Structure 1
Amino acid sequence: MNEQQSIKSFDSSSSSIGDESQAPEQYVPKEYTADGEANSRGNQLNLTRTETAKTLQDMGMTSEAPLPDINAPQGSKKPAIFPEEYTMETPTGLVPVVTLQSIGRNSSAISRTRTRQIEGSNFENEEGEGESPSSQSFLHKLRTTQTQHSVSTQTGEDEPDNHLDPEIEFVTFVTNDPANPHNWPLWIRWTYTILLSTLVICVAYGSACVTGGFGTIEKKFHVSLEAAILSCSLMVIGFSVGPLLWSPVSDLYGRRVAYFFSMGLYVIFNIPCAIAPNLGCLLACRFLCGVWSSSGLCLVGGSIADMFPSETRGKAIAFFAYSPYCGPVFGPLVNGFISVSTGRMDLIFWVNMAFAGVMWIISSAIPETYAPVILKRRAAKLRKETGNPKIMTEQEAQGITFNEMMSACVIRPLKFSITEPVLFMTCFYVCLIYSLLYAFFFAYPVIFGELYGYKDNMIGLMFIPILIGASFAVLTTFWCESQYLKLVKTRKPTPEDRLLGAKIGAPFAAIALWMLGATTYNHRMWLAPASSGMPFGFGMVLIYYSLNNYIIDCYVQYASSALATKVFLRSAGGAAFPLFTTQMYHKLGLHWASWLLAFICTAMIALPFAFSYYGKELRHKLSKFDYSIDAIED
């Protein structure tokens, strides 16, 4: 009798063992040698508990699959039949595909649910070549048929229900699982949140560390200020390129692996920056520093979200919103004193390397937080222990091709930047605020250096009000989050409900620039232009926090791709503004240069208010497809 026959015969007599609806069970093959000892394969069966349709339904599962969590694996075009796998805890830790199918979870049902108002082609199951190494060894075991699926809302054609082998068993966390980051003690999760936010500050600090010592670069390499400014801009450009590398690494191998290699390379490449023999070497290494360190910007938000359920992660994410905007402020604040005291360019990079080295050690020591990778490792252990090759995660079962990975990480974000006007306008506002922060690094030397005669160390102190304003903004985000949670209890939320923070912060960013322009007439009142940084820091963090959440809710089905679009556009703006800010202040004058930016910021105040009142209609009219939560739940 072969293995399949053994399973069928056991299933047919399962009633003699017990009521399956009462005792969740499944049978895992195990081979026994002549002397009775177990081997890894064979024709006899070992009893292993798994979930049944009844136990899943008792936990609230229905035939309609919910949206995947924002941190669910990206890339595969195949619809997930069990998106709760990475957030749900089950008593047994194993959920058979056949059981999911018995309650209505199959590819055709999921496709009908997910593709109601979006591109049907996004959910086509196109078998391709070039599967990732982590999935190649399992693919021939996973599917009982090799069919081409072409499901779309236009045709209404159903996918076959059996595109996954029904004998596959998906791994979940068990009830109160200590390996589940959601179950870690609260103080540990908040400690990791603060440490990871410090990692973001470290990376952002590195991009602006040279702004306090451009004179040292000019002096060492005998170049112009414009050439020296490239050492800042090129690292910020690296921030837009790096996520294309580190996001797939994180999805396949985990956050910890990505932090270890990326931050390690970042530490190493600070060495040639410090001892660069010419400007070309410095610029090339600064760009690579941006590529390597960008993991701290593109993954930390996900790491924090890994540790908190969606309903409680808002306050933790507020710290992440604070970090990338305050980190650069420490650059001129710290290195202005290094530049004036020592005049050494290399010391700026040695200090940056030391900071990065400490954060490399800390980030590498933080346990893995990414649930798909934690469960993937558990599945590998269970396969070894039980001899059952069909225990795996849905990410492994679905597999992913190189083309699918490129589509999710590169093509879709670029496509969104062109085809999604609502996303583009939202990202443009985020880009503007981020760019203005970098503009301050070059406006302040003109204002306080040329008008007041301050050196780099005193100019760096003028950035302190920005930090103060940003700190007040973090406290305000806590209030905004509490208001949102109250609203959720009374009605179904919409993406536009996330715009409260932007509506509060937008006027403050504009007021700051009007103040800066108006107070640079009289050089005896240095406190007035410096104090303009406080409303700017306050508005900056609130706008970013609010619009970041708005993007996630508007593009919940492809949140990672939408956020990648934001990172790309934000970094492009942050790299461009330093290249013309100094010349703009020289040509237009100290007040008109600030007022030009103030006019733009004032016009942008309308965006969060317009989206708040007309957002749903605008999304339906301006976007070809609706990717928001409304498209699923309406």
Structure 2
Amino acid sequence: MGVGEIEGASFRVEPLRRVGEDSVTMRARLQYQSRKRGILESDLLLSTFADVNLGSMSKAQLEQYDRFLDENDWDIYYWATQSPADADSPPTSTKAEAGRSSGRGGNSGGDSGPVLESGKTQTQSQSQSGEWAQTIGTFKPAYRPVPARWKDSEILSLLRKHVHERSAGGILEDVKGVEAGSKGTGLGRMPEVKVFDSSVAAFAGSINPLHAKHSNDVEKNEQPDEAIAEKAWLVDWDGPADGMNPKNMSTGRKWSIVVILAFGSYCVTNTSSLYTTTYDQVDAEFGNSRLVATLGLSLFVFGLGLAPMVLGPLSEFYGRRPVYIFAYTGFFIWLIPCAVAQNIQTMLIARFFDGLCGSAFLSVAGGSVGDMFTKDTLHSPMLIYSASPFLGPGTAPIMGGFINSFAHWRWSFYFLLIFAGVVLIAIVLFVPETYMPVILREKARQKRKESGDSRWRAPIEVYEKSIASTVGRSMYRPFMLLFLEPMCFALCFFSSILLGILYLFFGAYPLVFGHVYGFNLWQTGLTFVGLSVGMVVAIMSDSIWRKHYARLMDKNERETGERKSEPEFRLPPTIVASWFCVLGLFWFAWTIYPSVHWIVPIIGTAFFGFGIILSFSGTFTFLVEAYPLYAASALSANSFARSSFAAAFPLFGRQMYTAMGFHWATSLLGFLTLLMAPFPYLFFIYGKRLRAKSKFGST
């Protein structure tokens, strides 16, 4: 029977799922569930297994073990102790249900065994049937095959290995990595209860029990008394309802923080493209060429991609709030020389450092959203935040078109200074620290101050990491993923082309709509409404993709018996969106004629905007789930590649449109996206096989 099914009942009892449970609490609960099964054999088997393995399990292994414990106790016992060879030999009795009515330990009649169908009784010296007989006589139960949902399970593999290593007689002869016929110490005694703390969780994921020797596992768990005493002074949450835990903030406060962070991200990316509407006035005042002016856009965007690898890791040591305040203050300050620049050199230098500071904010802000919301409630706030950096570039030309049509170009930066100043004040006043290790460090300081006992420590204070080594890893690992992982490279290359095209349009739109339709600056700015509308529609389609994701989960559960997500389930939005991008570009390319109404090519750009948002959304979530241990590096690789392309494309866009013509220049961009469009579908089909061969990916 499956999990939650009851013999003779038509309904199914779904197991209780804990939401927002930290790994320390989860280990303690799983230890209790392993010791209190209600059947002696299972108690001994699972308690000794948990004693050896629970402390070194990763988060994914803990979740798998949690689901495994929902199975029937006798199923777990037989799956762990029987070999496939047992399937070929008959059981002692073919009547599996015999003896059930008599109960464990005999019937009401005294010393006699269970009553058989004939009315006679069996004595303890005879071969007896049913689960009642497992502790007496010589009984061979029927073989219970392992269901498909657990056949290749890492947890079951560990459990079978544990049985073989601890078995005094060597029950299993087919366990990989264990010498056949080896003798163990037995499973006759339940181990002492262990106390798990945050320090164990800090190391979870770095140890793979499948590749560790049993002696090493014992050494990890047999720690000196001093180490155990030291861990007793580690500070953790005061239960799941701890008020200092950011996940326990009120819903209203969480969403207010999300809104502030979203506006902060929007302001940074809005600054990148609003500058493009100042070209005409800046060129005339400073006497520079259009190419030199475009460098102000490219340097800003390049700075956006560079900072996450250098400044992003600092939040691991100092928390998110100091990075917010430091980075956004720098972003605000570097807007000032832009506003008062007397030459193009000052403008270019200030733009680069402005992008660098703004990027440090962008690299950390998404982490705060993840800090505050549980996995079940994360999707909507993360969608709002993730969309804001892409709405910024799309809407900036609309505002900039009106500002620079009716005011001096410096008012573009005065507007941005006011916008950034308001956001900075909101960050200082209303955005608290949300990074949990840093909050626990502050909690430890409070305990030391209140108690006068200096032994209180937070995990981050005990297990110090080097800032230099952390930043070093964050700089080289993204490039390893980018160039050694085919899926990461292809998806990053595709998303880079899309963002490069978006930034190329900031120079191409004035050229196209000015020559073909005679639009002035503010009218050209309004043509970006098509892109913005497409992006908003993509955000509103989120519920459709969530339902499709749920259907894929249901299908996977029917096929494997386990409700488990695969990274490839995140790719359908990208699969569909890639063809919307292709359609939008070719639509725009071949409708920009004076004889065709200007609304028609703008509708084509809406398809492109729709595709960009969904492409990025699916790509980001896929990279996070496909490379869970290196998610930050995968996203940094994507950010660096996207920013590099977005910085480079505007430098040749205007020349390309002039040399090739508006139609074929846009068609070339369409052919580039057409070349990359099949890759998301190929990864949806073959991604799991590629991950199995990957050095960095999940399996």
Q: If the TM-score is normalised by the length of the shorter chain, which range does it land in?
A: 0.7 to 0.9
User: 1:393 and 1:627, CA in 2 relative to 1: closer, same or farther beyond 3 A?
Assistant: farther
Which residue of the partner structure matches residue 594 of structure 2? 522
Which residue of the partner structure matches residue 608 of structure 2? 536
SS at match of 2:227: coil
1:237 Cα shift?
0.8
Which residue of the partner structure matches residue 347 of structure 1? 411
SS at match of 2:304: helix
Q: Which structure is larger by alpha-carbon Rg, 1 or 2? A: 2
After TM superposition, the structure 1 = structure 2 runs for residues 231-250 of structure 1, keeping only pairs within 5 Å, are 231-250=296-315
Which residue of the partner structure matches residue 65 of structure 1? 57
SS at match of 2:571: helix
User: 1:51 and 1:248, CA in 2 relative to 1: closer, same or farther beyond 3 A?
Assistant: closer
1:257 Cα shift?
1.1
Determine which of 418, 421, 426 is the counterpart of 1:362. Answer: 426
Determine which of 271, 280, 285 is the counterpart of 2:350. Answer: 285
Whole-angstrom distance in 2 between the partners of 1:333 and 1:601? 26
Deviations 1:567-617 (A, max 9, x none): 111111111111111111111111101111111112222011000001112
Which residue of the partner structure matches residue 571 of structure 1? 643
After TM superposition, the structure 1 = structure 2 runs for residues 101-116 of structure 1, keeping only pairs within 5 Å, are 111-113=206-208
Determine which of 561, 585, 589 is the counterpart of 1:513. Answer: 585
Which residue of the partner structure matches residue 551 of structure 1? 623
Q: Which stretch shifts more, 245-254 or 223-232?
A: 245-254
Whole-angstrom distance in 1 between the partners of 2:410 and 2:220? 63
Structure 1 residue runs without a partner (length 5+): 1-49, 70-96, 117-151
SS at match of 1:236: helix
Does residue 212 of the first structure (1) align with residue 282 of the second (2)? Answer: no
User: 1:285 and 1:109, CA in 2 relative to 1: closer, same or farther beyond 3 A?
Assistant: closer
Q: Which stretch shifts more, 172-181 or 223-232?
A: 172-181
1:371 Cα shift?
1.4
Equivalent residue letter for 1:63: G
1:429 Cα shift?
1.5
Aligned residues: 513
Which residue of the partner structure matches residue 401 of structure 2? 336
SS at match of 1:423: helix
Which residue of the partner structure matches residue 490 of structure 2? 425
Determine which of 581, 589, 607 is the counterpart of 2:661. Answer: 589
1:486 Cα shift?
5.4
Q: Which stretch shifts more, 550-559 or 184-193?
A: 184-193
If asked which structure has higher relative contact order (CA below 8 Å, sep 6+), I would say 1
Whole-angstrom distance in 2 between the partners of 1:185 and 1:440? 42
Equivalent residue letter for 1:499: L
Determine which of 676, 683, 688 is the counterpart of 1:616. Answer: 688
Instruction: Looking at secondary structure, tell me which structure has more strand per residue.
Output: 1
User: 1:551, 1:562 within 8 Å by CA — same for their partners in 2?
Assistant: yes
Whole-angstrom distance in 1 between the partners of 2:302 and 2:412? 20
Whole-angstrom distance in 1 between the partners of 2:363 and 2:541? 24
Deviations 1:504-558 (A, max 9, x none): 2111111100101010133552111111121111111111111100000011011
User: 1:325, 1:437 within 8 Å by CA — same for their partners in 2?
Assistant: no
1:377 Cα shift?
0.8
SS at match of 2:234: strand
Whole-angstrom distance in 2 between the partners of 1:68 and 1:182? 21
1:493 Cα shift?
1.2
Equivalent residue letter for 1:223: N
User: 1:107, 1:159 within 8 Å by CA — same for their partners in 2?
Assistant: no
1:245 Cα shift?
3.9
Equivalent residue letter for 2:697: Y
Whole-angstrom distance in 1 between the partners of 2:546 and 2:251? 18
Whole-angstrom distance in 2 between the partners of 1:477 and 1:509? 18
Whole-angstrom distance in 2 between the partners of 1:558 and 1:265? 29
Whole-angstrom distance in 1 between the partners of 2:576 and 2:627? 23
Whole-angstrom distance in 1 between the partners of 2:421 and 2:234? 39
User: 1:107, 1:160 within 8 Å by CA — same for their partners in 2?
Assistant: no
User: 2:258, 2:369 within 8 Å by CA — same for their partners in 1?
Assistant: yes
Determine which of 456, 460, 466 is the counterpart of 2:521. Answer: 456
After TM superposition, the structure 1 = structure 2 runs for residues 295-444 of structure 1, keeping only pairs within 5 Å, are 295-342=360-407, 344-365=408-429, 366-444=431-509
SS at match of 1:173: coil
Whole-angstrom distance in 2 between the partners of 1:195 and 1:109? 33
Deviations 1:447-470 (A, max 9, x none): 101221211111110001111111
Does residue 100 of the first structure (1) align with residue 164 of the second (2)? Answer: no
Equivalent residue letter for 1:222: G
1:247 Cα shift?
1.3
Whole-angstrom distance in 1 between the partners of 2:624 and 2:205? 22
Which residue of the partner structure matches residue 496 of structure 1? 568
1:98 Cα shift?
7.2
Deviations 1:331-350 (A, max 9, x none): 211111121212x2211111
What TM-score, normalized to structure 1? 0.75
Equivalent residue letter for 1:544: F
Q: Which stretch shifts more, 223-232 or 408-417?
A: 408-417
Whole-angstrom distance in 1 between the partners of 2:421 and 2:60? 35
Which residue of the partner structure matches residue 30 of structure 1? none
User: 1:315, 1:478 within 8 Å by CA — same for their partners in 2?
Assistant: no
Equivalent residue letter for 1:554: A
1:317 Cα shift?
1.4
Equivalent residue letter for 2:439: I
Which residue of the partner structure matches residue 289 of structure 2? 224
1:108 Cα shift?
9.6
User: 2:58, 2:205 within 8 Å by CA — same for their partners in 1?
Assistant: no
1:109 Cα shift?
8.8
1:56 Cα shift?
7.2
After TM superposition, the structure 1 = structure 2 runs for residues 620-631 of structure 1, keeping only pairs within 5 Å, are 620-621=692-693, 623=694, 625-628=695-698, 630=699
Which residue of the partner structure matches residue 227 of structure 2? 165
1:355 Cα shift?
0.9
Equivalent residue letter for 2:31: Q
Equivalent residue letter for 1:113: N
Q: Which stretch shifts more, 206-215 or 315-324?
A: 315-324
User: 1:239, 1:291 within 8 Å by CA — same for their partners in 2?
Assistant: yes
Which residue of the partner structure matches residue 43 of structure 1? none
Which residue of the partner structure matches residue 131 of structure 1? none
Deviations 1:194-219 (A, max 9, x none): 22111111110011111112111101
Structure 2 residue runs without a partner (length 5+): 1-23, 35-49, 62-192, 558-562
SS at match of 1:559: helix
1:156 Cα shift?
8.6
Equivalent residue letter for 1:339: N
What TM-score, normalized to structure 2? 0.69
Whole-angstrom distance in 2 between the partners of 1:556 and 1:475? 27
1:388 Cα shift?
3.8
